[in-house]
């Protein structure tokens, strides 16, 4: 069986051992670009081309973060975010929302950030987003989640 973790590996050929990120994007070239950049930064990467595959992989593999396009075929990114937040297995995953949508007469992403945050996304970027910015935001969100988890742990006696 093929390895479900992305084919994107650092050039050394060593399998990354960092946090797992699920990249959900219906445009193959964009998804592969983000996956490659995340792998080069040391993350393990899974990919999904649509919302139903994203939910399936998130529930099966429990990623630390999800890069989520909001405009997906079938189940859109807003519904994916709500579903992940409503499941005990994924309710704490960091979700980074992306969109290239432009409202009539507006700018890219305008009006979508508040809806994305309300759906359960942690942060939002209008496309195109520089891969380095995306990597930095994922690192920040995973670190924040780790701190929050430590703060919730009962103090040792």
* 92 inside domain: yes
* 146 inside domain: yes
Give the residue numbers spanning the domain of 112. 20-152
* 157 inside domain: no
Query: Which tokens belong to 11?
Result: 């050039």
Q: Is the pLDDT of residue 138 over 80?
A: yes
The conformational region for residue 42 under phi > 0 = left, psi -120 to 50 = alpha, else beta, is left
Per-residue model confidence (pLDDT) at position 14:
47
* 10 inside domain: no
* 135 inside domain: yes
* 138 inside domain: yes
Q: Is the pLDDT of residue 107 over 60?
A: no
Number of structural domains, the chain?
Answer: 1
Q: What percent of the chain has pLDDT over 70?
A: 82
Tell me the C-alpha distance between 49 and 157, whole Å.
47
Query: What pTM was computed for the model?
Result: 0.84
Task: Of 64, 9, 58, 65, give the one whose Cα is nearest residue 37.
Answer: 9
Compute the C-alpha angle 129/101/94, nearest 5°. 50
* pLDDT band, very low/low/confident/very high, at 155 (cuts 50, 70, 90): low
Per DSSP, the residues of 48-94 read ESSHHHHHHHHHHH--SEEEEESS-SSS-HHHHHHHHHHSTTTTT-E
Tell me the per-residue pLDDT of 50-75, one tens digit each, with 9 for 90 and over.
999 999 999 999 999 999 999 999 99
64: CATH: 3.40.50.2300
């Amino acid at each position: 069986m093929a390895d479900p973790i992305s084919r994107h590996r650092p050039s050394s050929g060593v399998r990354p051992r960092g946090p797992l990120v699920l990249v959900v994007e219906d445009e193959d070239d964009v998804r592969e670009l983000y996956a490659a950049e995340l792998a080069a930064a040391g993350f393990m990467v899974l990919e999904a081309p649509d919302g139903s595959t994203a939910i399936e992989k998130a529930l099966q593999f429990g990623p630390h973060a999800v890069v989520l396009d909001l405009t997906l075929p079938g189940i859109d990114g807003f519904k994916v975010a709500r579903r992940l937040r409503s499941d005990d297995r994924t309710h704490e995953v960091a979700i980074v929302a992306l969109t290239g949508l432009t409202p009539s007469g507006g700018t890219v992403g305008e009006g979508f950030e508040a809806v994305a945050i309300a759906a359960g996304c942690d942060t939002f970027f209008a496309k195109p987003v520089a891969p380095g910015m995306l990597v930095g935001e994922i690192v920040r969100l995973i670190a924040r989640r780790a701190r929050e988890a430590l703060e919730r742990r009962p103090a040792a006696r």
